[in-house]
């Protein structure tokens, strides 16, 4: 057995004064045994035993006991980290990539795709096919950079890939070693997930020693899957602007380099022009995900706090009922009544409410992602479902998922429609009040005002809702008085974005300037 918070176990120190008290009390009971009946003495001692059991189980529950193994929920578990290493050198702009389609028209369109466009298309389709992994992106020309760190937000990676083009970086030539090295920086040594790099390139490298970084990945257990784009025949690269009379240069795909890198690290080589290229890559990643998931989840310990909470409640209830005085003539009848009352007490605390207690405890410790699991389980219980929806809404809000939070608050309110209007007034108020806060932050002042009005209908005595309603109405009037206020704010945002973009480009150019001066070879 292990504990999440072992320091709480020091709470057992409280039993030291209790033991001293029990010794002293036993002496007093022995001295006055003539005045105490045998039944009363037994009941007193049984009460003390059950109360101490209650304290012991409570301390263990607070410490967070774990034992045994089990499976974590798939939606909160990641067993695969994938980094797309994308070559954006000049040769990737050559339009000789192809992907066979079902009709000739589509085929003509795909043949006109550039190598970079074909690679980015394969990357986006792979993310959509394998949504359970964490994704990152590294880009490189003469030097590699980690552009997007590993994230659970697949949408962020998709947006980056959608906006990427060859003009993102300066620099000459291609350095695949630096590109893959930047991709390796995304991985965390503490993560048990399988580490995979998907290299998208034509395989041409004019600087660096690609074999060195491949050997490093093999030693570290990092798999390199290669997607070779372009054609083996190659095409002429456009004339270099700085050398107008330079002879024509043919850039062709180097399949040997790409294939050897994949084989050396245990990955697979994929011809980017194949019709099933994305299917092959996605199937390989899914197989790695399932394999790693099966290995890692076997060693995962399960939380057993709920068991000790139930035992603590049983012990506390027993300490209260054991002191009841029974008449000999009706002892069997009274015992039956008290056992029924004890069962009724325990069943009144339903499984749904116990799950809510567990979720609220995790929520109070700021372990929001873990709290989502018991909240989701509580949705299956009718009496706890509205409160579980509210808890999920509050958790999503604290995780900066405002739209998801609004949806949960709305679902909680719909579930409350099955109850009389005079019940659960505080929960009704909280649903509307928190929704109003989110609408106000999103500058949707009309929706915020409506939400605060509904909150006041649920509980007219809340001063905060009245104050926020007045503030929302004031914001609406100010918005109507200044129709160009939104346009000016957007213009300010665009000016700030342009400034940050210029500063970022200066930083990248300054970091690449030395390499441009030192390298005098081919610029592709």
d(CA 201, CA 229): 6
Q: Is 129 exposed, middle or buried (0-12, 13-18, 19+ CB in 10 A)?
A: middle
Q: Is 97 exposed, middle or buried (0-12, 13-18, 19+ CB in 10 A)?
A: buried
Is the pLDDT reported for residue 74 higher than 50? no
- What residues contact residue 205 under an 8 Å CB cut-off, 6+ apart? 174, 175, 176, 177, 254, 257
Is the pLDDT reported for residue 41 higher than 80? no
Produce one character per residue of 189-206: b if its CB has 16 or more CB atoms within 10 Å, e if not. Answer: eeeebbbbbbbbbbbbbb
Predicted confidence at residue 497, as pLDDT, reads: 54
Is the pLDDT reported for residue 158 higher than 70? yes
Which residues span the domain enclosing 111?
Answer: 74-297
Q: Is 9 exposed, middle or buried (0-12, 13-18, 19+ CB in 10 A)?
A: middle
- The mean pLDDT value for 139-157 works out to 86
Report if residue 33 sits inside a domain: no
| pLDDT band with cut points at 50, 70 and 90 for residue 295 | low
Predicted confidence at residue 26, as pLDDT, reads: 67
- The mean pLDDT value for 53-65 works out to 89
Report if residue 408 sits inside a domain: no
Tokens representing residue 151 in the block: 């994230």
Q: Return the minimum-mean-pLDDT range out of 39-48, 76-85, 349-358, 496-505.
A: 496-505
Return the H-helix or E-strand segment holding 228.
strand 223-228
| pLDDT band with cut points at 50, 70 and 90 for residue 243 | very low
* Closest to 177 in 3D by CA, of 146, 209, 222: 209
Give, as one character, the DSSP assignment of residue 193.
Answer: S
- The mean pLDDT value for 474-501 works out to 63
Q: Is 473 exposed, middle or buried (0-12, 13-18, 19+ CB in 10 A)?
A: middle
- The mean pLDDT value for 18-46 works out to 66
Report if residue 357 sits inside a domain: no
d(CA 304, CA 295): 22
Phi, psi torsion values for 494, nearest 5 degrees: -65, -40
Report if residue 220 sits inside a domain: yes
Tokens representing residue 384 in the block: 């706890």
- The mean pLDDT value for 471-485 works out to 76
Is the pLDDT reported for residue 504 higher than 90? no
Predicted confidence at residue 400, as pLDDT, reads: 81
Is the pLDDT reported for residue 135 higher than 80? yes
Predicted confidence at residue 169, as pLDDT, reads: 58
Is the pLDDT reported for residue 166 higher than 90? no
Predicted confidence at residue 221, as pLDDT, reads: 92
Report if residue 193 sits inside a domain: yes
| pLDDT band with cut points at 50, 70 and 90 for residue 69 | low
Is the pLDDT reported for residue 28 higher than 70? no
Report if residue 391 sits inside a domain: no
- What residues contact residue 382 under an 8 Å CB cut-off, 6+ apart? 352
Sort strands 80-87 and 134-140 into parallel, antiparallel or unpaired.
parallel
Phi, psi torsion values for 249, nearest 5 degrees: -120, 130
> Mean pLDDT score of the chain, rounded to an integer?
77
d(CA 206, CA 90): 12
Return the H-helix or E-strand segment holding 188.
none
Is the pLDDT reported for residue 489 higher than 90? no
Share of the chain above pLDDT 90, in %: 19
Predicted confidence at residue 248, as pLDDT, reads: 72
Phi, psi torsion values for 84, nearest 5 degrees: -85, 115
Angle, helices 38-63 vs 305-321, to 10°: value is 160
In 3-state terms, what secondary structure has residue 307? helix
**pLDDT tens by residue, 365-402:** 777 777 888 888 888 888 888 898 998 888 888 888 88
d(CA 287, CA 294): 11
- The mean pLDDT value for 227-249 works out to 70
Share of the chain above pLDDT 70, in %: 73
- The mean pLDDT value for 502-524 works out to 49
**pLDDT tens by residue, 318-365:** 877 766 554 444 444 444 444 444 444 444 456 777 788 878 877 777
Is the pLDDT reported for residue 73 higher than 80? no
Predicted confidence at residue 66, as pLDDT, reads: 83
In which order are the strands placed within the sheet that holds 301-303?
Answer: 2-3, 65-69, 301-303
Q: Return the minimum-mean-pLDDT range out of 16-30, 143-157, 287-301, 390-404.
A: 287-301
Phi, psi torsion values for 465, nearest 5 degrees: -65, -40
Angle, helices 445-458 vs 463-481, to 10°: value is 160
Report if residue 199 sits inside a domain: yes
Domain of 173, CATH number, reads: 3.40.50.410
Counting Cα atoms < 13 Å in the Cβ hemisphere of 483 gives 0
- The mean pLDDT value for 173-190 works out to 87
Report yes or no: 175 and 208 within 8 Å, Cβ to Cβ: yes
Total domain count for the chain?
A: 1
CA 408 to chain CA centroid, nearest Å: 18
Predicted confidence at residue 204, as pLDDT, reads: 85
Q: Return the minimum-mean-pLDDT range out of 118-127, 130-139, 267-276, 323-332.
A: 323-332
**pLDDT tens by residue, 89-125:** 888 888 877 654 444 444 444 456 888 889 999 999 9
Tokens representing residue 465 in the block: 């809702």
Predicted confidence at residue 300, as pLDDT, reads: 56
Tokens representing residue 80 in the block: 């695969």
- The mean pLDDT value for 433-459 works out to 90
Give, as one character, the DSSP assignment of residue 238.
Answer: P
Report if residue 158 sits inside a domain: yes
Angle, helices 485-518 vs 463-481, to 10°: value is 80
**pTM here?**
0.47
């Amino acid at each position: 057995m292990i504990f999440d918070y072992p320091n709480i176990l020091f709470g057992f120190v409280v039993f030291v004064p209790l033991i001293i008290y029990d010794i002293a009390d036993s002496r007093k009971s022995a001295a006055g045994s003539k005045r105490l009946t045998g039944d009363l003495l037994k009941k007193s001692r049984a009460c003390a035993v059950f109360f101490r059991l209650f304290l012991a189980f409570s301390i263990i529950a607070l410490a967070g006991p774990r034992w045994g193994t089990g499976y974590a929920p798939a939606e909160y578990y990641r067993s695969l980290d994938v980094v797309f290493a994308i070559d954006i050198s000049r040769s990737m702009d050559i339009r000789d990539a192809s992907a066979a389609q079902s009709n000739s028209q589509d085929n003509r369109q795909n043949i006109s795709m550039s190598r970079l466009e074909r690679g980015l298309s394969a990357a986006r389709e792979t993310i959509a096919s394998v949504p359970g992994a964490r994704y990152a992106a590294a880009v490189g020309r003469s030097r590699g950079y980690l552009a997007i760190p590993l994230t659970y937000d697949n949408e962020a990676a998709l947006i980056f890939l959608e906006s990427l083009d060859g003009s993102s970086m300066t620099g000459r030539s291609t350095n695949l070693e630096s590109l893959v090295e930047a991709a390796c920086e995304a991985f965390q040594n503490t993560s048990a997930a399988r580490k995979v790099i998907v290299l998208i390139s034509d395989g041409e490298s004019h600087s660096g020693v690609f074999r060195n970084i491949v050997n490093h990945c093999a030693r570290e257990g990092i798999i390199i899957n290669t997607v070779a784009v372009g054609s083996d025949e190659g095409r002429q690269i456009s004339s270099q602007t700085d050398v107008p009379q330079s002879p024509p240069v043919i850039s062709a795909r180097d399949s040997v380099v790409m294939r050897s890198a994949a084989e050396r690290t245990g990955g697979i080589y994929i011809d980017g022009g194949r019709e099933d290229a994305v299917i092959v890559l996605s199937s390989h990643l899914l197989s790695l995900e399932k394999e790693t998931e099966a290995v890692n989840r076997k060693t995962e310990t399960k939380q057993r706090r709920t068991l000790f909470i139930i035992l603590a409640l049983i012990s506390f209830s027993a300490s209260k009922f054991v002191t009841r005085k029974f008449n000999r003539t009706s002892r069997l009848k009274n015992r039956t009544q008290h056992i029924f009352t004890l069962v009724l007490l325990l069943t009144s605390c339903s499984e749904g409410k116990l799950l809510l207690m567990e979720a609220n405890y995790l929520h109070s410790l700021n372990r929001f992602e873990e709290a989502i699991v018991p909240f989701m389980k509580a949705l299956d219980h009718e009496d706890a479902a509205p409160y579980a929806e509210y808890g999920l809404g509050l958790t999503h809000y604290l995780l900066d998922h405002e739209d998801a939070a609004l949806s949960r608050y709305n679902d909680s309110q719909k579930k409350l429609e099955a109850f009389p209007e005079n019940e659960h007034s505080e929960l009704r108020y909280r649903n509307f009040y928190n929704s109003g806060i989110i609408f106000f932050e999103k500058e949707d002042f009309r929706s915020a005002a409506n939400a605060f009005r509904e909150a006041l209908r649920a509980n007219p005595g809340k001063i905060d809702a009245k104050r926020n309603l007045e503030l929302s109405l004031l914001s609406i009037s100010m918005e109507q008085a200044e129709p160009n206020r939104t346009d000016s704010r957007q213009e300010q945002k665009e000016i700030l974005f342009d400034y940050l973009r210029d500063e970022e480009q200066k930083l990248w150019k300054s970091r690449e300037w030395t390499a441009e001066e030192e390298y005098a070879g081919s610029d592709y």
